[in-house]
Each structure stands twice: as C-alpha cells, then as structure tokens.
C-alpha cells in the first residue's frame, strides 16, 4: 500500500498523532504523581524511582515504536517492564499498607497491556497480566499475606484486558478492511485516471492524424493525375507518419516542422527510437529536440540519421549528417547537452 492509504487500528485510533503524545504525557505525569502522593511511606526511594523509570520506558516504547503487530523486542520490553516495576515498588514499603497509592503500579500496568492487545499482541498482553498477578502472589506470600489479597488487587486488570481483546478481534480486522478498501479505491482511481489520460491522448492523436491525412486522402480519392508537388507532399506525409511509429520519442511540433522543412529541401531524414528517452524529464526531451532542430536547420542536402540509443548508454542521441562535402556527427548526453563539439570530416 502507498503511505497515503496504508494503516492499521493503531493509526485509526490516532495513536500516531501529537494527541497521543499528549495523552502519554498525562499518563506518565499520573504515574509520577501517585508515588509522590505517598512518598513519606516508603522505606527506600531508589526502587520507586526505578519503577517510575520503567513505566516511562514502557509508555515511550508503546507510542514511539512503529509497526503492526508491534515488534517483538518492544513487546518483550512492555511485558517485562510492568511486573519488574511492581516488584521494585513492593520492596520499597513495609506492611501494613498506609495508603492505596502504594499499589499504583498494579493499576498503571493495565494501560500498556491493554494497548498491547490492540497492537495485535493479545497473547503477550495476557502474559503480562498473568505475570503481574504472579508478582502480587509472590509479594503476598513473602510478606505472610493471603493469596486472596493478591487476587483482589490484580483481578481488576482482567476487565480492561478482556475489553481490549474483544476490540482486537473485532475492530482491528475492520480497520484492516477499511484501509484495504481505501487502497483499492485509490488504485482504481489511478487506473481510471491513467485510462482517461490514454483515451485523451488517443483522441488527440486521432484528431491530429485526421487534420494531417484527410486532405491527402481526399485528393487521392479524387483520382489522378497528380502534380509533382502533390506527389512530393504525399511522400513527406508518408515519411512523417512512419516517423510517428518508428520514432515516437522524436515527435514534437517544433521538431516535426524542422524535419518536414528539411525533407522539402531534398534532405533524406531517417529517425529511429530504441527507447532510451522513455520516462525522460520533458525539459530534457525538449532540450534534445531543440538541439536537433538547430542541426537540421543547417543541412541542405544528403542524408541525416537521428537515433535515440537504447537505455543504459552514456549517450542518449546520435545524429549523423552525410552531406555532399562533409560528414557531421553530434552526440547528446542524457541531460541533452552535447558530449563534445560536433565532429566534421570530409565526405569520401
């Protein structure tokens, strides 16, 4: 998909916008405010600081890491960071609990795990939730509390996890469908535009061909005798039509007029296109045409062969003029500039 239409549920929720960073900042501020509210209850400060830093790391990784599903390394960071932060926090206070704020990592952990499910890491989100419960069980066991205490403080996380799981299995596929349909519509619009452009070019060429050929065909349909000037006109027209098929890269209003004028002077002009200018910048193509027109303006007799070389050559166009008195060669680079001054040599 193109960048304009590719996306996922994470993007659909606006999680890659500045608003997401503002909300992440609010979450992290709340994460810092909760331990500060119960700062005087801790026996040690460094575990609390470590827990806060782990949550900051988890929040930044969650929002800043691209990719859907979330990359494995970022998933591991989120799964490990929250239980580790809880373990650090539990080691920083003694029983009995003086305020519910001391258990802030348990509730704060559910936020990363909820969005982990949204980012197609449902199993990892539940592993994190279960790990959090195991850490709580370990803490209650080591401190002589009942297992029910651990369940009571961690079971509340199951509700948001269930909702995020339901969201992941229903809305996330719908988001994929939305972006897939949008990409399909974009491709169809591009195809329709290309087809319309091709039809427009075809119609323009048909109108131009009609203007060029109809008078000659009407004259031929009227029957002979034909004047010499008319025969010459027919031959010039036939050569031009052949050029449009054999050398489309050398077709242009100014160049066509110069080639026609040269043929009317009696110069044999042969054009060949091996595809080297396909996809070239229009300005470069115009520069090449203009230089060929300049060279044709000085030819009064003989044969002029102009050839667009195949792709991948250092030279883009060669032009050889075989006049009565000299042979002149001009090589144009892919930028439309002559690689060296045109060479002239006596004609043998």
Asked which of 184, 210, 238 is the last residue of a domain, the reply is: 184
Q: Is residue 285 predicted with pLDDT exceeding 50?
A: yes
Residue 164 lies in a domain: yes
Would the pTM of this model clear 0.75, i.e. be above it?
no
- Asked whether residue 311 falls in the same domain as residue 236, the answer is yes
* Mean pLDDT score across all residues of the chain: 82
* pLDDT for position 62: 84
Domain count, the chain: 2
- Asked whether residue 14 falls in the same domain as residue 157, the answer is yes
Residue 221 lies in a domain: no
* pLDDT for position 139: 86
- Residues 145-194 have pLDDT tens digits of 888 878 877 777 788 888 888 888 887 777 777 778 888 888 898 888 88
Residue 316 lies in a domain: yes
- Asked whether residue 331 falls in the same domain as residue 231, the answer is yes
For residues 326 and 130, which has the higher predicted lDDT (pLDDT)?
130
- Asked whether residue 236 falls in the same domain as residue 342, the answer is yes
Q: Is residue 293 predicted with pLDDT exceeding 60?
A: yes
- The pLDDT of 294-322, averaged and rounded, is 88
- The pLDDT of 69-77, averaged and rounded, is 89
- Asked whether residue 159 falls in the same domain as residue 282, the answer is no
Residue 205 lies in a domain: no
Nearest one of 292, 288, 307, 286 to 261, comparing CA atoms:
292
- Asked whether residue 97 falls in the same domain as residue 233, the answer is no
Which spans in 265-320 are helix H?
282-297
- The pLDDT of 210-232, averaged and rounded, is 81
Q: Is residue 315 predicted with pLDDT exceeding 60?
A: yes
φ/ψ (deg, to 5) at 43? -85, -25
Asked which of 184, 209, 234 is the last residue of a domain, the reply is: 184
Q: Say how far apart CA 343 and CA 78 lie, in whole Å.
A: 71
Q: Would you place residue 76 in the very low, low, confident or very high pLDDT band (cuts 50, 70, 90)? A: very high
The boundaries of the domain holding residue 311 are 226-346
Which spans in the chain are helix H?
9-12, 18-37, 46-64, 72-90, 104-108, 110-118, 122-142, 147-154, 158-222, 228-246, 253-264, 282-297
- Per mean pLDDT, which range of 5-9, 40-44, 170-174, 292-296 is the poorest? 5-9
- Asked whether residue 178 falls in the same domain as residue 230, the answer is no
Q: At what angle do helices 147-154 and 122-142 cross, to 10 degrees?
A: 140
DSSP string, 129-180: HHHHHHHHHHHHHHTT--HHHHHHHHGGGHHHHHHHHHHHHHHHHHHHHHHH
Residue 56 lies in a domain: yes
Q: Is residue 6 predicted with pLDDT exceeding 70?
A: no
Q: Is residue 138 predicted with pLDDT exceeding 50?
A: yes
C-alpha pair distances (Å), 85 with each of 111, 122, 145, 262: 14, 21, 20, 86
- Asked whether residue 92 falls in the same domain as residue 178, the answer is yes
- Asked whether residue 180 falls in the same domain as residue 253, the answer is no
- The pLDDT of 234-242, averaged and rounded, is 81
Asked which of 167, 184, 201 is the last residue of a domain, the reply is: 184
* pLDDT for position 59: 84
Residue 210 lies in a domain: no
Residue 337 lies in a domain: yes
């Amino acid at each position: 998909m193109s960048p304009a239409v590719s996306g996922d549920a994470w993007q659909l929720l606006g999680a890659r916008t500045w608003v997401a960073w503002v909300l992440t900042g609010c979450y992290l501020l709340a994460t810092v405010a909760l331990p500060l509210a119960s700062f005087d209850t801790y026996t040690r400060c460094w575990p609390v600081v470590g827990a806060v830093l782990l949550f900051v790391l988890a929040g930044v990784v969650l929002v800043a890491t691209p990719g859907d599903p979330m990359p494995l390394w970022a998933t591991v960071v989120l799964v490990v960071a929250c239980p580790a932060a809880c373990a650090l926090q539990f080691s920083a206070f003694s029983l009995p609990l003086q305020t519910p704020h001391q258990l802030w990592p348990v509730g704060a952990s559910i936020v990363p795990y909820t969005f982990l499910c949204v980012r197609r890491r449902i199993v990892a989100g539940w592993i994190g939730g279960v790990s959090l419960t195991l850490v709580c069980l370990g803490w209650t066991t080591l401190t002589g509390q009942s297992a029910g205490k651990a369940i009571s403080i961690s079971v509340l996380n199951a509700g948001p996890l269930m909702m995020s799981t339901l969201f992941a299995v229903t809305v996330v596929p719908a988001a994929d469908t939305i972006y897939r349909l949008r990409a399909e519509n974009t491709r169809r619009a591009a195809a329709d535009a290309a087809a319309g452009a091709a039809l427009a070019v075809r119609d323009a060429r048909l109108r131009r061909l009609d203007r060029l050929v109809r008078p000659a065909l009407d004259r031929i349909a009227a029957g002979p005798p034909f004047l010499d000037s008319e025969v010459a006109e027919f031959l010039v027209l036939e050569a031009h039509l052949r050029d449009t098929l054999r050398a489309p890269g050398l077709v242009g209003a100014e160049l066509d007029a110069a080639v026609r004028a040269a043929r009317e002077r009696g110069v044999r002009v042969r054009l060949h296109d091996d595809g080297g200018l396909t996809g070239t910048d229009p300005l470069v193509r115009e520069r090449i045409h203009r230089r060929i027109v300049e060279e044709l303006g000085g030819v009064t007799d003989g044969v002029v062969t102009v050839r667009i070389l195949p792709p991948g050559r250092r030279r883009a166009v060669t032009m050889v003029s075989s006049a009565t008195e000299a042979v002149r060669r001009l090589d144009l680079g892919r930028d439309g500039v002559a690689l060296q001054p045109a060479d002239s040599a006596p004609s043998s």
